[in-house]
Structure 1
Amino acid sequence: MRAREAGEVFGPRMALFADVLSVGLATAAACLPLVTAPAALSTACAVLRGAGQDRPVTAGRYFALLRHRLRAGDLMAGGVALAGLLLLAADLALAGAGLPGAPLFAVAAAVIGAGALVIGLRACARPESLTDWRAALRKGARDGVQDVAGSALVLLAVATAALCAGMLMPLALLVPGPLALALTAVDVRRAAAGEARSVVPEDA
């Protein structure tokens, strides 16, 4: 990352933070139809991943990439995600109605929902999600099982985003950016760890 130039008020890290917030606003706007949420978050992860490859991280680049994402497969992924969310909400509502075995059912539904959330978010962070959601979901599920620490970080990022949005509602328009950055960082960390394990020692 380049050093701060003479007369520059903010360093490159602060510039990246501002770019993340602008991408977050763009992602929040793109998520408004709900069924576009997976494609919007996946696009945000792709744009932020480009920061490590000296590509511009801007809202303009985000929308330019998003225009090519609203295909039938992307909208279908959004519909499945929305249906799963509604089903989970209905199950938790039934559990809260005082039915027999409700506490155990609520715990099971919460665990299943958290697992599905981790797989879905890790799939959004995968580069494959730009072209093939099935491959992204398969690899997201594999990552969720093999990289337990990364999955815990994903849940922590979601909890932090929800807490920030709950404390101050206007922050809900900004949290998609930091959330996408966290998901991208977890995926890059997984890829780096995989490359490190695949390196054969010279004296082997």
Structure 2
Amino acid sequence: MRTNKEAGEIFGPRMTLFADVLSVGIAVAVVSLPLVTLPAALSTACAVLRGVREDRPVTAGRFLVALRRRLRPGDLAAGAVALAGLVLVLADLALAGAGLPGGPAFALLAAAIGTCAAVVGLRACGRPESVDDWPAAVRGAARDAVRDPGGSGLVVLAVAAAALSAWMLLPLVFLVPGLLALALTAVDVREKEVAPRVGV
């Protein structure tokens, strides 16, 4: 990755990357409005951002070109599964809050299961395999979640920071997906770089 500012550049490459991440984030937010396209959009954003290491440009145009090849039945099925899981967790939490016996314990259990499933799903979006093989990406993400709890904690913190940013300033909702994709990509790259050193 280029780190020096070239002649005529107003901002250095790191600021350029930040601006590109924001433009990709807006594209992800717009494409994800049908909700079932969210996993494919987030996965494509991570793949585009991973190209920074090979000095490939990170642009909303490149994201849209890559996404056009992605919206296959498997990608839409992954989105439908994610949406169904979210609806199920929200319904469980609503039932637990309705005064059922053992409601608080059930709500805690449902929230824990939902959080674990969300972490695995998000880590799967950050893996390169998600571009063409969702089951392999989910299996790898589940292994990573167990083997690398620190990375899973970083994913939870990234989601919390994204939600807090969107809550504090509503227009940031359209920028948050790019920052979340950058965090997921960084966690995946970090896990692959840390694992060999741990094995030494």
Give TM class, smaller chain. over 0.9
Distance across 1 between alignment mates of 2:7 and 2:149: 44
Secondary structure of 1:5's aligned partner: coil
Native 8 Å contact 2:3 2:14 kept in 1: no
Distance across 1 between alignment mates of 2:68 and 2:158: 27
1:202 corresponds in structure 2 to none
Identity %: 68
2:28 corresponds in structure 1 to 27
Q: Scaled by the length of structure 1, what TM-score is found?
A: 0.95
Distance across 2 between alignment mates of 1:124 and 1:35: 14
2:181 corresponds in structure 1 to 180
Distance across 1 between alignment mates of 2:93 and 2:112: 12
Q: What runs of 5+ residues in structure 1 fail to find an aligned partner?
A: 200-204
Native 8 Å contact 2:148 2:191 kept in 1: yes
Distance across 2 between alignment mates of 1:196 and 1:52: 20
2:131 corresponds in structure 1 to 130
2:6 corresponds in structure 1 to 5
2:66 corresponds in structure 1 to 65
Native 8 Å contact 2:45 2:63 kept in 1: yes
The alpha carbon displacement at 1:198 in A equals: 5.0
The alpha carbon displacement at 1:168 in A equals: 1.0
1:162 corresponds in structure 2 to 163
Distance across 2 between alignment mates of 1:164 and 1:40: 20
Aligned Cα root-mean-square deviation (Å): 1.0
Residue identity matched to 1:39? A
Distance across 2 between alignment mates of 1:34 and 1:101: 32
Q: What runs of 5+ residues in structure 2 fail to find an aligned partner?
A: none
Distance across 2 between alignment mates of 1:10 and 1:45: 23
User: Residues 181-200 of structure 1 correspond to what in structure 2 (within 5 A)?
Assistant: 181-197=182-198
User: Residues 103-122 of structure 1 correspond to what in structure 2 (within 5 A)?
Assistant: 103-122=104-123
User: Residues 33-112 of structure 1 correspond to what in structure 2 (within 5 A)?
Assistant: 33-112=34-113
- 1:86-141 deviation per Cα after TM superposition (whole angstroms, max 9, x unaligned): 00010001111111101000100000000000000000001000000000000000
Distance across 2 between alignment mates of 1:8 and 1:190: 33
Q: Scaled by the length of structure 2, what TM-score is found?
A: 0.97
Number of matched pairs: 199
Distance across 2 between alignment mates of 1:32 and 1:94: 27
Which runs of at least 4 in structure 1 moved beyond 4 Å after TM superposition? none
Residue identity matched to 1:28? A
Distance across 2 between alignment mates of 1:20 and 1:117: 22
Distance across 2 between alignment mates of 1:115 and 1:136: 15
The alpha carbon displacement at 1:157 in A equals: 0.1
Secondary structure of 2:35's aligned partner: coil
